Chain A
Amino acid sequence: MFLWTVLLIVLMSAIAYVAGRSRAAGLVVADGPRLHSLPSYHGLLVAAGAMLGGLALAILSALVLGTQSVVTPAAAVIGAAIAAVPLYSRSAADFRARNAFERVVLVVLVACSAVAVLTTIGIVFSVLFETMIFFRSVSPIEFLFGSHWSPTGTPASFGLIPLLVGTLLITVIAIAVAGPLGLLSAIYMAEYASPRLRNVLKPVLEILAGIPTVVLGFFAALTVAPLIRRTGEAIGLDVASESALAAGLVMGMMIVPLISSLSDDIINAVPQSLRDGSYAMGATKSETIKRVVLPAALPGIVSAFMLAISRAVGETMIVVMAAGLAANLSINPLDAVTTITVQIATLLVGDQEFDSPKTLSAFALGFVLFFFTLALNYIALRIVQKYREQYD
């Protein structure tokens, strides 16, 4: 039925276009008044009417009678006709079909822009709604400050703290890896590398940035984690097979391109005049970078780190595959810890019952994750914006 409806709407619109266009063309008479709009605009207007009218009535019928109803295609045809006929009969030499059509187009454009906003509203409401239901059975205090997480245990307990600590532990490891590597890479690329070298290095970072996280997770779980475990055993350390270190290291490598490309932009935005001032006093390149460029770029670099933290906190696949499920409250990087995203993914994979606290707790975790990353992103983007204005 869906296909038929679409086909019929397209067909009706095509008919409307041809009809509207030829009627307008027929209005042209020698020495008569000139058409205000090209005939094709008359056609487009009638066609737009047919399409929107058809869509509107088809959607209405689908909502009332269900998507499989035979009425839907019929409703599409009727809707198209109802909307198109008055527009068709309105065409006259001085009818401003172009202006009318352009208004329709503008409304469509505005509607498309609204989708992004609707997405945000959808996220906020879906997460908020389920979280509210969750808080009916588990108190927010217990959720936010509880130190035990065991959604499937009896009795189930929903304490966020171990997840938060696990998330932060892995994030700290990741940033400890990605921060220096990314920043130093960016400095080298922006200040030292020859254009030819840059042409080689940039794709390396772009490739790394483009590798799906599921691939990095596989690498972390199958190659990095055993390596760390074996190394640890060799020097007499007790390493969990799903250690936070393995997940954190690989996540750090994932974030290197993000920090380096953001920092690269920021360092390049520092005006040459500042550098020249430093060189003119006999400073070496590294002194100029350390004393002049980096302090000037600091706000931007801070925001790059914030975006990186947000990315690390929200990253799912690497931790699902390489970090554990056990909610240990530990800050030892060699222990297995779990994260917010791991728990969301585990709780929601498979069949869910929307009335159990287990499923709903995933939404509460999503709520925490969403607002945490949103706050980080928002502040970071504001800093970047401020920073750009400063040097524009």
Chain B
Amino acid sequence: MTEVRDELVKKRYASERRFRFYGAAALALTALFLAILLVDIVARGLPAFTEKTVALDVKVDPAEIDPAQLAGGNYDKLVKDAFRAEFPQVTGRAERKALGALLSTGGGDALRQMVVADPALIGKTVSVPVLLGADAGIYLQGMLTDLTTVAGKATLNIARLEGEEGYVLSGDTSGESAEQQLGLTAGQVVRFKGGALRVTGMQNGYVRAEAILPPELPVITLPAGQWDSLTFSVPESNRRISDAQAVWLEDLKSEGRIQTSFAWRFFESGDSREPELAGIRGALVGSLLTVAVALALALPLGIAAAVYLEEFAPKNKLTDLIEVNINNLAAVPSIIFGLLGLAVFLNFFGLPRSAPVVGGLVLALLVLPTIIIASRAALKAVPPSITEAALGVGASKQQAVFQHVLPLALPGIMTGTILGLARAFGETAPLLMIGMIAFIADIPQGFTSAATVLPVQVFLWSDLPEIAFKSKTAAAIMVLLVVLFALNAVAIYLRKRFDRRW
């Protein structure tokens, strides 16, 4: 008998341990998901906080700049010319274009700023960091393709074929095949001073190659160590940087001309079609304006409603209805508020589309129930003895509420409000409905100018095909999360600091 019971007890304890494990596993899984999410976002987003520039000596040609209109000069041309001058052997039209495409379309901005600040630079040669284009940038960050560079271990003979396109490569004249001596396979790029070739295949013990950057001399002999082979993991057709562009960038890199710096531009400029020029300032200002409107409306309304419902409202069917209504409103999907904004504020009242003031109105209605519920809880937590004491010395009910209860409830109300604010800050869906999704490059100037907000900017960027924008998206998310965590931290601090035990 006892043995059977022992069996049972053992089983029961096993089941107990299993159950406990399930609970722990559920929490661990949730925490793991959060960790992966955050790590993924940070890993994707970090590259967007740096930018790649190439240091160029640019001659500020007076011919391109009208001294009366310093900012209007053709700085892009100056910069591009200086950049092309770095590669004198590049002469073909298509090659020159590909070379120029490595620079950002905003590459001349830094020079413009320098000249506008100091017009005396006109006619001189200045050293200026020129921003590279987005594709060049992410290539240099290793996000387009992996690259293995192997220094040539044997002597390389290059000969241009007569009468047909291409080159043949051979090693020294020993018995081994050129392929084995040189260690080259099709698709690899052979780079040397003054040119670059792409291996196309083998023929008669020779290695056949085509020109990427054709060397000037028809026959060249390069000793070991004077050339190297580059292997790209992604074929040229599948990436936005050609082999030739890659070679130019590798040349610049090995010369130490490429600089990596913190991308202040990301925080200082508005949206742009060019990933390397796009920033979140416009969206951030739009968010601030929108949330400011939402706060200015929802906070007083929410507190007033909470004070009325908690302290003054008679208990009857009507106040019950209001209460049920507020609780339900708090759980209405946010997109419905967007429909409301579209139908009422835009269509009926004719307020401007894409404006922070309308976004703020919608968000105010969205967070109002949250603020009312939190404020009521905070008011309820103030013990009635405080009210009684005030009433006892002849304060009116309103004096008791506004001079004693409300100030004591304020930290709680603030905590709830900040959490509501955080929700408003991260809200996207209703703002899509009221047109805050347009492409807006300018920093919004006021409450009625067209604007977008940070979460919508995230949504917009995430939809774009360029890889560089994926990184920008993750970076914008990082900024968004930092703001939200900061708001939450303030709320937690308030809760801890003013937590009062009655």
Contact = CB atoms under 8 A, between A and B. Distances in A.
B296 to A, nearest CB: 12
B332 A113 contact: no
Contacts of B473: 218
Interface stretch (A87-95, A236-244, A363-371): A363-371
Interface in A188-246: 188-189, 191-192, 201, 204-208, 210-219, 221-223
B331 interface: yes
Nearest to B458: A214
Contact of B328 (A122, A188, A191, A374): A374
Interface in B459-502: 459, 462-463, 470, 473-474, 477, 480-481, 484-485, 488
Contact of A374 (B29, B40, B332, B425): B332
A45 to B, nearest CB: 13
Interface in A362-391: 362-363, 366, 369-370, 373-374, 377-378, 381
B262 interface: no
Contact of A377 (B304, B328, B337, B462): B328
B110 interface: no
Contact of B368 (A115, A191, A316, A348): A115
A366 B308 CA distance: 32
B148 to A, nearest CB: 24
A116 B30 contact: no
A61 interface: no
Contacts of B327: 377, 381
A317 B480 CA distance: 16
Interface size class of chain A, counting residues whose CB lies under 8 Å from the partner chain = 35 or more
B428 A109 contact: no
Interface in B197-240: none
Interface in B343-400: 343-344, 347-348, 365, 368-369, 372, 396, 398
A108 interface: yes
B13 A123 contact: no
Interface in B296-338: 300-301, 304-305, 307-309, 312-313, 321-322, 324-329, 331-338
A348 B458 contact: no
Per DSSP, chain A at the interface is: helix
Contact of A213 (B307, B332, B398, B428): B428
B41 interface: yes
Given A181-B26, A218-B462, A285 B331 contact: no
Interface residues of B, number: 85
B396 A377 contact: no
A117 B22 CA distance: 44
A123 B432 contact: no
Contacts of B488: 206-207, 210
A217 B312 CA distance: 43
For A115, A256, A287, which residue has the most chain B Cβ atoms within 10 angstroms? A115
A342 to B, nearest CB: 10
Contacts of A377: 327-328, 331-332
Interface stretch (B31-39, B73-81, B122-130, B253-261): B31-39
A180 interface: yes
Given A102-B398, A119-B365, A113 B304 contact: yes
27 contacts: A109-B312, A110-B308, A113-B305, A117-B325, A122-B340, A123-B332, A184-B23, A185-B23, A189-B27, A213-B426, A213-B428, A214-B428, A214-B459, A214-B462, A215-B458, A215-B480, A219-B41, A222-B470, A223-B40, A253-B30, A285-B16, A289-B19, A316-B333, A344-B335, A362-B339, A370-B333, A370-B336
